[in-house]
Amino acid sequence: MKIKFIHFVKTIIVIIFAISTVMLIFVSTNFKSLLNTLNSNYDGISLSTSNDWQSTQTYTNSFIWIGHATVLLNIDGENFLFDPVFSNRASPFTFIGPKRLMKPAIPINNLPKISKVLISHNHYDHLDINSLKALQEINQGIEFFVPKGDRELLAKHNLKNIKEFEWWETANSDNKVIKFIPVKHWSARSFFDKNKSLWGGWQIKNKQYSIVHFGDTAYDERFLVNKEKIGNVDIGFIPIGSYAPRDIEKENHVNPQEAIQIAKDLNISYSYGIHWGTFFLSKEPLYEPAKLIDKYQDPFSGRIFSTTEPGKIIYLDSLKYQSIVR
């Protein structure tokens, strides 16, 4: 009888924990945004992916959007992977939470050797422990660059070679400078650790290219203020999804018009939309972000903002306007 009671109590504790955590599953949002996600308008379609990545073993000076905020970037033969999420759900659980609408464009075991993983913040749709553990298993000596406050999270899962960054802190990698830059967002893995770690974007710069991955951000005029610190940007990976309705999401995520404004503020030559089409996290229709990027960008500005198929290789020396919209 005593054993049954103990088992009952343990079960209740697990259920309470699960219910509490479910309220934070969509950690790219606040509580109202969670409810927004649960009431999303998924239209039953998904993005097509390209097999272009299978056509070559050489990725030198190129990038591939793998899905959501996951981008594979090669500069001078060194492979960087931003915000790798290869799990089926953006959630602490395997049975509940935002489910993928499409598979990762490149299976994790088919990636080239990864030198460094760069994490923008600790929300589950950007920091996926199972993906990081898998990457460490298949990439000897891989390094993990994370915001200040996230080292312990990775270390307790036996991840190695972890370096934390404050905003504006830099590191060198061969002939490249890597910088962690502030954006307008927040962090949390549970109810009890909101903003206990930093959040931000990553800039990688060499003599030829300056590239920024913005992770997840709302619009902030400080992008314009910080323009001098960031400097010239050739290529920007800017989030364009999870923005509807605006009364809930405005302080969490840019909409396509605001993404274009970030590109304007920083005078980014070529921008590419990320953070859309992979997990259904808000109320806008699946293809709407890409359609609005096409609608609102200024073709006479000298700046180009594109959307591209997941899995398609984009070479840095042959950038041009692209649109996934059919």
CA distances for 88 relative to 48, 101, 102, 124, 313, angstroms: 17, 9, 9, 12, 23
DSSP codes of every residue in 257-316: HHHHHHHHHTT-SEEEEES-SSB--SSS-TTHHHHHHHHHS-TTSS-EEE---TT-EEET
DSSP state of 54: G
Per the CB < 8 A criterion, the answer to whether 313 and 278 are in contact is: no
User: pLDDT class for 25, splitting at 50, 70, 90?
Assistant: very low
Q: What is the pLDDT of residues 195-227, one digit of tens each?
A: 999 999 999 999 999 999 999 999 999 999 999
Determine the Cα–Cα distance for residues 60 and 43; give it in Å rounded to an integer: 37
pTM here is: 0.88
Complete domains list, the chain, with CATH: 2-315 (3.60.15.10)
Per-residue confidence (pLDDT) for residue 67, from 0 to 100: 97
- The 10s digit of each residue's pLDDT in 148-183 is 999 999 999 999 999 999 999 999 999 999 999 999
For a pLDDT cut of 70, what percent of the chain falls above it?
A: 86
**CB within 8 A of 257, min separation 6: which ones?**
292, 296
